[in-house]
Amino acid sequence: MFIVKKKLQLLLLVSFFAMHLSSASQQDYPFKLFARAESGKQMLLAQNNGPAPILVTVNLLNPVNATIDRPSPITVVVPPGETISIATVHITVPGQQYKISSSYKFSVGTPDVVQNPDATYLLPFKDGQEITVGQVLGGKISTHSGLASKYAVDFTVPIGTPIVAARKGKVVDIDQNYSEGGADPLLKANHVLILHEDGTLGLYSHLTQNRIPVTFGQRIEAGELIGYSGNTGYSTGPHLHFVVLSNTRTTDGTAQYLSQPVKFMNDTPAHELELHQYDKLVTHHHASPKVTTFPHPLHWSDSL
C-alpha cells in the first residue's frame, strides 16, 4: 500500500558504536532512518532519496541508559533529496549498552496542502474514449466510503484502455507487480501516483500489470500516457479509480489522506463536467483538426 508505510514496533538494541534501524519488510520508496555517532551522542537522521516530500512520524520510547532530546511522537516533513535530523540521543553512562524501542511510519506528501482552486483536470483518457461513470459522489456508493475516497471517481473502461495524466506533475510512486483482482479489500492494486505543483497527489489505480511506461521521478504533462487500465486489487470489474489526495496529520502524528474535489474539463471549448453515476461520456480534450473547405461540396470519400 503506497499510502502509509509502517514500521511496527521494532525493538532496537542500540550499542554504543552504532544504532541500527532495520525492517523486516522491504520498502520501495527510497526513504530511511539511520543513526550517526557524534562525540558521545547518537544523531538520528531521516534520509529521503526519492522525488516527493515525506511525512514521517517516529516514536522513540523506553530509553535505558539514554535520554532523548525531544518527546515522541516526532513528526517532520523531509523534503525530496534531503537528510534531516530527527532527534539526538545522549548516552547516560558512556561505554555501557543502552536501549530504545522505536517505531516509525512515513507517507508521501506534505501535510495540509491546499489544492489550487483554479486547478483543472482532464478526463484521464485519450481523445475519443468512451467511458461510463461507475461510482461517484452523489451516486450509490459501494466502496468510496472512506476519507481518502469520498471524491474518487470510478470510470468503467475495458482492460487495456490507455490512461493519461489528468494533470501535470511528477511521478512519485509506481506499483505494477500485481496481477489479481476481486472483491477482497486486501488485494493490492497497481497504481501510479503523481505529485502536482500545489502538493496534492493524483492516484490512478487498478492498472494492468507491468504496463506502466513512466518512471519514478519523471515529469509528466497532462494528457501523457501513464499506463493501461486493468482490474487489479479490490475491484469487481475493469475500471480506473481516480482520486486527488492531500496528506494530513492527525493529532497523534499519523498520516491520513483526504480526497479532494476535482474539476474535470471536457470538450472544446473546455467546460467543467458535473459527473453523475452511469453517465456515458466521450473524452474530447483538443480542438478538432481544421477541416478544409472545398469550393464545391465533396464527400470525404471523394476528397481523401
Q: Could you list the residues that contact Zn ion (CB under 5 A)?
A: 154, 241
Alpha helix locations (H) across the chain?
A: 300-303
CB-closest chain residue to Zn ion: 241
In the complex with Zn ion, which residue's Cβ is closer, 100 or 192? 192
Q: Are strands 201-207 and 240-249 parallel, antiparallel or unpaired?
A: antiparallel
In the complex with Zn ion, which residue's Cβ is closer, 170 or 241? 241
Query: Is the N-terminal amide bond of 73 cis, ω within 30° of 0?
Result: yes
In the complex with Zn ion, which residue's Cβ is closer, 187 or 270? 187
* DSSP code at position 98: E
In degrees and rounded to multiples of 5, residue 193 shows phi and psi of -120, 125
Query: Is the N-terminal amide bond of 269 cis, ω within 30° of 0?
Result: yes
Q: How far is the CB of 11 from Zn ion (least distance, A)?
A: 38
Q: What is the side-by-side strand order in the sheet with 98-108? A: 5-14, 98-108, 54-64, 74-78
Q: How far is the CB of 229 from Zn ion (least distance, A)?
A: 12
Q: How far is the CB of 125 from Zn ion (least distance, A)?
A: 16
In the complex with Zn ion, which residue's Cβ is closer, 12 or 148? 148
Q: How far is the CB of 119 from Zn ion (least distance, A)?
A: 21
Q: How far is the CB of 135 from Zn ion (least distance, A)?
A: 6
In the complex with Zn ion, which residue's Cβ is closer, 105 or 241? 241
How far apart CA 63 and CA 23 sit, in angstroms, is: 20
Are 167 and 261 in contact by the 8 Å Cβ rule? The answer is no
Three-state DSSP class for residue 123 = coil
In the complex with Zn ion, which residue's Cβ is closer, 231 or 246? 231
Question: Measuring CA to CA, which residue among 89, 99, 157 is closest to residue 128?
Answer: 157
Q: How far is the CB of 37 from Zn ion (least distance, A)?
A: 48
Q: How far is the CB of 123 from Zn ion (least distance, A)?
A: 15
What is the Cβ-side half-sphere exposure of residue 224, based on CA atoms within 13 angstroms?
17
In the complex with Zn ion, which residue's Cβ is closer, 5 or 144? 144
Residue with cell 469520498: 150
